[in-house]
């Protein structure tokens, strides 16, 4: 999963959320179909999970889902609650590369991105372990603000999925979440429309747009001036680059006069 200034990697179990689902909102998150996500790497077991078990932070065999979030400076993750119907508690995270902070109870606004003051600001040091449960995990949102990622930072999030967690059916997957190497034959013909989420366009297609001459900005200005200014103050019709001045490109001339007595010339322009 890629977002601006953040890459997310799922291991063991992955889940889909947000725009990846045909139906959005809290409670709509689903685990990926079984076998779609790679196993948790051995180095995560050896260097992270085993250490947490030895220090009795989590019991043996607790973790079956690992997520690595790789943040670039200015990256963030918006306020959220880890889906209660997907994951058991506690939620354990281990920080690497640089210091940061976990903020609780913030509200995000976008374009430009703005974040309200947090209810609680929790410094997260490089190498620290954070354990969320109870109120902190279930009753208040947590986030990472852009201003709190000043250097590259990575975090490994370790969780256990619930036995009754809903699992995504393949037909509900959008094209953005299909795993690499997915059997393309399953997407052929009418089956493709059933699996992929239809894409929406924000603009209506215009079949004649390719054959219609484009209006340059200077032409728009000329049209605006011709409406606002009296005739004696208007610039010549030939001031725009849209009109070619060489005589052999004029397909029709005439000697008709306008009401004020000045000669008028009709020009037909060819576009390629």
Q: Domain coordinates of the chain in residue numbers?
A: 2-179, 212-272
Catalytic residue list contains 32: no
Identify the helix (H) or strand (E) that includes residue 225.
Answer: helix 217-228
Query: Residue 28's pLDDT is what?
Result: 85
Task: Give the separation between CA 86 and CA 161, rounded to whole angstroms.
Answer: 6
**Active-site residue, selected from the candidate residues 15, 71, 135, 182:** 15
Query: Residue 263's pLDDT is what?
Result: 54
Identify the helix (H) or strand (E) that includes residue 43.
Answer: helix 42-44
| Ramachandran angles phi, psi of 7, nearest 5° | -115, 135
Residues 6 or more apart in contact with residue 155 via CB below 8 angstroms: 68, 69, 71, 93, 94, 95, 96
Q: Give counts: helices (H), strands (E), the chain.
A: 5, 14
Tokens of 199: 């894409």
| Residue-level pLDDT, tens digit, the chain, 272 residues | 567 899 999 999 999 876 666 666 778 899 999 999 999 999 999 999 999 999 999 999 999 999 999 999 999 999 999 999 999 999 999 999 999 999 999 999 988 889 999 999 999 999 999 999 999 999 999 999 999 999 999 999 999 999 999 998 776 555 555 555 555 444 333 433 433 344 444 444 444 444 444 444 444 444 544 544 555 555 444 444 443 444 444 444 444 444 455 555 555 555 54
Residues 6 or more apart in contact with residue 48 via CB below 8 angstroms: 94, 156, 158
What CATH number does the domain located at 2-179 have?
2.60.120.590
Query: Residue 173's pLDDT is what?
Result: 58
Long-range contacts of 51-58 (CB under 8 A, 24+ apart): 52/92, 52/94, 52/129, 52/158, 57/92, 57/129, 57/131, 58/90, 58/92, 58/158
Task: Give the separation between CA 91 and CA 131, rounded to whole angstroms.
Answer: 6
Tokens of 83: 């889906």
Task: Give the separation between CA 172 and CA 165, rounded to whole angstroms.
Answer: 16
Query: Residue 209's pLDDT is what?
Result: 42
Query: Residue 216's pLDDT is what?
Result: 42
- pTM for the whole thing? 0.64
What number of other Cβ atoms are within 10 A of residue 206's Cβ?
8
- Measured at the CA of 131, the angle between CA 123 and CA 78, to 5 degrees, comes to 60
């Amino acid at each position: 999963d890629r977002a601006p200034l953040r890459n997310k990697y799922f291991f063991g179990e992955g889940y889909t959320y947000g725009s990846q689902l045909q139906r959005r909102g809290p409670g709509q998150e689903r685990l990926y179909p079984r076998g779609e996500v790679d196993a948790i790497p051995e180095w995560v077991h050896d260097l992270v999970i085993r250490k947490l078990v030895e220090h009795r932070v989590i019991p043996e065999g607790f973790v079956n889902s690992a997520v690595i979030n790789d943040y670039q400076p200015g990256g963030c993750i918006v306020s959220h609650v880890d889906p209660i119907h997907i994951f058991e508690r506690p939620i354990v995270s281990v920080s690497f590369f640089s210091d940061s902070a976990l903020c609780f109870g913030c509200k995000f606004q976008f374009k430009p991105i703005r974040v309200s003051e947090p209810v609680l600001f929790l410094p997260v040091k490089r190498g620290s372990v954070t354990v969320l449960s109870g109120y902190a995990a279930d009753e208040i949102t947590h986030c990472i603000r852009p201003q709190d990622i000043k250097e590259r930072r990575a975090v490994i999030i370790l969780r256990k999925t619930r036995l009754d967690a809903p699992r995504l059916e393949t037909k509900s997957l959008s094209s953005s979440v299909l795993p690499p190497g997915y059997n393309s034959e399953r997407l052929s013909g009418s089956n493709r429309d059933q699996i992929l989420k239809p894409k929406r366009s924000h603009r209506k297609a215009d079949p004649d747009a390719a054959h219609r001459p484009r209006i340059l900005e200077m032409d728009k200005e000329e049209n605006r001036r011709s409406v606002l200014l009296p005739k004696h103050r208007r610039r010549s019709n030939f001031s725009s680059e849209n009109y070619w001045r060489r005589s052999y490109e004029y397909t029709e001339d005439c000697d008709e006069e306008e009401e004020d007595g000045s000669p008028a010339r009709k020009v037909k322009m060819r576009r390629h």
